[in-house]
Amino acid sequence: MDKLKKLFVALTGVLLLSACSFPGLASNTDEDTIAITGGITTESQILGSIVAGMVEHYTDKQTTIINNLGTTNINHQAMLNGDADISSTRYTGTDIASTLLLDPVMDPDEAMKVVQREFKERYDQVWFPSYGFDNTYVFLVRKDTAEEYNLQTVSDLEPIADELVVGADRAWMTREGDGYDGFTEAYGFEFSSILPMQIGLVYDAVDAHRMDVVLGYSTDGRIASYDLVMLEDDKQFFPPYDASPIVNQQLLDEVPELQDAIDRLAGKIDTETMQTLNYESDNDLVEPSIVAERFLEEHNYFEEDAQ
């Protein structure tokens, strides 16, 4: 029954999304411009601009960035529709569950092999090596909540699960495998009050005491801004979410120098660096594109790397 449900969801999404291009987008027909998807998070918008900067530095192409695509499935469909050539921010664990509809893969190296193989075979897309960080989901609480209930791990939430107001990423609430249903099965308890939210709003919500617990991203700069406490995933439920860009093989064939340009980003952004970049935008209110430009200039577009 679970497999049938997954298939139905996948087919429904494809039928609905493939019928037309996305609102505000026309298919990318300008041969001199490469379309890159960003997203709705600060992180995805920064990475989109970093990829764009590398493309323009090492090729003769111009770029356009498509932000505000709210889910992985929408990003994926933009690539399939021809609205985008590069998807700048994709996570192994997320795509294994939501795009490939496969069971979670807990080993990071194996997860990378799975997405690289499956995306090439199914979609003729190249999944590049990770930028160097794993942006996993993490449950977050304020310090006063952590101290009041002596919270250190996710399991510590179980005795008070019926007292808490919880906010979580809307896409995570309904996703198979590593979503809420899988979480309740792995941890053996449910929250009596859990509300789906846009991921960008959860940090403000918990800081303003509108939520007691929220599900956020481990690299988000607002964790430091709001001095939030990250709870340990003690049952190791969440799979690895190593971040990488994806590029259509056709584009790599047409612009071979693009391979080297994007390869130079492999392993260059660790978790601490990504947190810092996110913090600059979320806390210091610097535009993601400016954060990206400063980062690339600071590292001289990684020109010292071997060809």
Do 186 and 129 lie in one domain? The reply is no
Do 127 and 147 lie in one domain? The reply is no
Domain membership of residue 307 (yes or no) is: no
pLDDT digits (tens, 9 = 90+) for 210-257: 999 999 999 998 898 899 999 999 999 999 999 999 999 999 999 999
Q: What was the pLDDT predicted at 185?
A: 96
CA dist., res. 40 & res. 289, Å (int): 14
What is the extent of the structural domain holding 166? 137-231
CA dist., res. 172 & res. 244, Å (int): 20
Whether 20 has a pLDDT exceeding 60, the answer reads no
- Residue 74 backbone phi and psi in degrees, to 5: -70, -40
Q: Would you say the C-alpha torsion 269, 271, 277, 282 has a positive or negative sign?
A: positive
pLDDT digits (tens, 9 = 90+) for 270-293: 999 999 999 999 889 999 999 999
User: Which among 145, 169, 137, 166 is positioned nearest to 237, based on CA atoms?
Assistant: 137
HSE, side-chain direction, 13 A CA sphere, residue 93: 21
pTM (two decimals): 0.81
Average confidence (pLDDT) over 156-161: 98
Do 145 and 205 lie in one domain? The reply is yes
Residue 70: pLDDT band (50, 70, 90) is: confident
The more confident residue out of 46 and 18 is: 46
Do 214 and 268 lie in one domain? The reply is no
Alpha carbon 281 to its chain centroid, in Å, reads 17
Whether 5 has a pLDDT exceeding 50, the answer reads no
Q: What was the pLDDT predicted at 206?
A: 97
Residue 31: pLDDT band (50, 70, 90) is: confident
Q: What was the pLDDT predicted at 1?
A: 39
Give SS3 for 185. Answer: helix
Domain membership of residue 105 (yes or no) is: yes
Q: What was the pLDDT predicted at 175?
A: 82
CATH classification at residue 128: 3.40.190.10
Domain membership of residue 236 (yes or no) is: no
Task: Kindly report each contact of residues 271-275 with a partner whose C-beta sits within 8 Å and lies 24 or more positions away, as own/partner.
Answer: 271/133, 271/134, 271/135, 271/218, 271/219, 273/132, 273/133, 274/43, 274/131, 274/133, 274/135, 274/219, 274/243, 275/219, 275/220, 275/221, 275/223, 275/224
Give me 26's structure tokens. 């026309």
Do 224 and 254 lie in one domain? The reply is no
Give me 187's structure tokens. 């941890």
Last residue of a domain, one of 231, 254, 277: 231
